[in-house]
Amino acid sequence: MKRRNFLKACLIGGTTIALGKTNKGWASGSFEGYPEAMGVLVDTTRCIGCRSCEAACNKEQKLPEPDTSFDDPSVFEHDRRPTAKAYTVVNRYQKEQPSGPVYRKVQCNHCNEPACLTSCFVNAYTKTKEGAVIYNSKVCVGCRNCMIACPFNAPGYDYDSATNPIVKKCILCYDTRLKYGKPPACVEICPQEALTFGHRADLIKLAHERIRATPDRYVDHVYGEKEVGGTSWLYLAPVGFDKLGFDTTLSNDPIISNVKDFLGMVPMVLSIWPALFSGIHLLCKNQEHDGHGHDTDSNQEDTKP
C-alpha cells in the first residue's frame, strides 16, 4: 500500500507539474476573486501600538510566550516580521514626526491568488471561500518555496524538528473562529477599533468612505485592494505606505502572472524531481508514523474546508 501511495504521489505530482500548473494556480487570467471572502481593514491612524493583537493571537493559536514581554516597548526599536512563534507583529514608524508614531500590524495578508499556494507542488495550501489561506503540515515537505514566493515575507519556519518541517503563519483564526463566522482574535481584542472585520468588498467601500470623509487624515490609497491581485487584509494610512515598510513596488497582477509563461516552458525533466521528492517524503513519513507512532499534530494541520 505504501508503495502504491508513493507511485500515486509521483504520478499525480509529475502530471500536474508537467502540465504546468498546480490545481488552483493557473486561473489568474480570468480570476474574479472570492465573492464571500472576508477580510480585515487596518486603520493605522487608530493604532496605538498596544500589541493586544499580538497577545490575543498567541493565546488563540496556543503559541509560546514571547522572548520579550508584550508590555515591553523595546521591540519597537527595530522592524520585526512574523515567525513560527509569532504570527503577527506590530512595528513602529514615523516616530520622529510631530504628529507622533504610526504603528503597523504585520501578518499573512491572505492574497486572493496566493503565491505560497501556487508555488507549493504538494498542495499544502488551500484558499478557503472565506478568504483564509490555510496550511496542511501533513503534506508539507519543507522545501520552503512558499517562503520565497510570498511577496510579503509572511510565512515562518519551525526549525525545532529537522525531520518534521512545519511552516507557520496567520490563518485568520480559521479553525476556531472564521469558519464559524467569528472575527479573528486580534480584531476582537483591539481596544482602538483599529481593526474592522467584514466582507472584503464591504471593507473596501468603508475604506474609501473614510478617505472621502476625512481626506486630510489619510493618503488616497487602500493598500491591499489591488496589490498582487488583492488581499484580505487592507490598510489605511496617514502617510505614504512606503514610509510604513510596505512594498509599494508590487504589481497589481498576481505573482503567478509573472511566471506562468516561464513555467509553461519548463522541460519535464526539471518538473519530475519535485514529484519524486514529494513521493519519497510521504513514503518516509508514513513509515515513520507506522514504526514509531510519531505525532505530527500541529495547530494548523487538517484545516481544509
Q: Tell me: the pLDDT tens digits for 240-257?
A: 999 999 999 999 988 777
Side chain identity at 199, as an amino acid letter? Answer: H
| pLDDT, tens digit, 9 for 90 and up, residues 30-89 | 556 688 899 999 999 999 999 999 999 999 999 999 989 999 999 999 999 999 999 999
Written as one string, the DSSP assignment of 140-154 is: -----HHHHH-TT--
What pLDDT is attached to residue 253? Answer: 87
Backbone angles phi, psi at 106, to 5 degrees: -120, 135
Which helix (H) or strand (E) segment holds residue 288: the answer is helix 268-292
Tell me if 192 sits within 8 A of 103, measured CB to CB.
no
SS3 category, 284: helix
SS3 category, 115: helix
Cβ atoms within 10 Å of 227's Cβ, excluding its own: 26
* CA count, 13 A, side-chain hemisphere, 29: 4
Cell numbers that stand for 240 in this block: 505614504
Which helix (H) or strand (E) segment holds residue 286: the answer is helix 268-292
Average pLDDT over residues 257-268: 56
| pLDDT, tens digit, 9 for 90 and up, residues 194-216 | 999 999 999 999 999 999 999 99
SS3 category, 167: strand
Residue 56: burial class (beta carbons within 10 Å; 0-12, 13-18, 19+): buried
**Is residue 227's pLDDT more than 70?**
yes
What pLDDT is attached to residue 165? Answer: 72
The pTM (predicted TM-score) of the whole model is 0.77
**pLDDT category of residue 166 using cuts at 50, 70 and 90:** confident
| pLDDT, tens digit, 9 for 90 and up, residues 98-146 | 788 999 999 999 999 999 999 999 999 999 999 999 999 899 988 889 9
Cβ atoms within 10 Å of 247's Cβ, excluding its own: 13
The widest CA-to-CA distance across the chain, in whole angstroms, is: 68
Report which of residues 9 and 192 the model is more confident about: 192
Average pLDDT over residues 182-200: 98
Which three-class secondary structure string do you get for the chain?
A: CHHHHHHHHHHHHHHHHHCCCCCCCCHHHHCCCCCCCEEEEEECCCCCCCCHHHHHHHHHCCCCCCCCCCCCHHHHHCCCCCECCECCEEEEECCCCCCCCEEEEECCCCECCCHHHHHCCCCCEEECCCCCEEECCCCCCCCCHHHHHCCCCCCEEECCCCCCCEEECCCCCCCCCHHHCCCCHHHHHCCCCCEEEEEHHHHHHHHHHHHHHCCCCCCCCCECCCHHHCECEEEECCCCHHHHCCCCCCCCCCHHHHHHHHHHCCCHHHHHHHHHHHHHHHHHHHHHHHHHCCCCCCCCCCCCC
Tell me if 13 sits within 8 A of 279, measured CB to CB.
yes
Torsional sign, CA 11, 15, 18, 22? negative
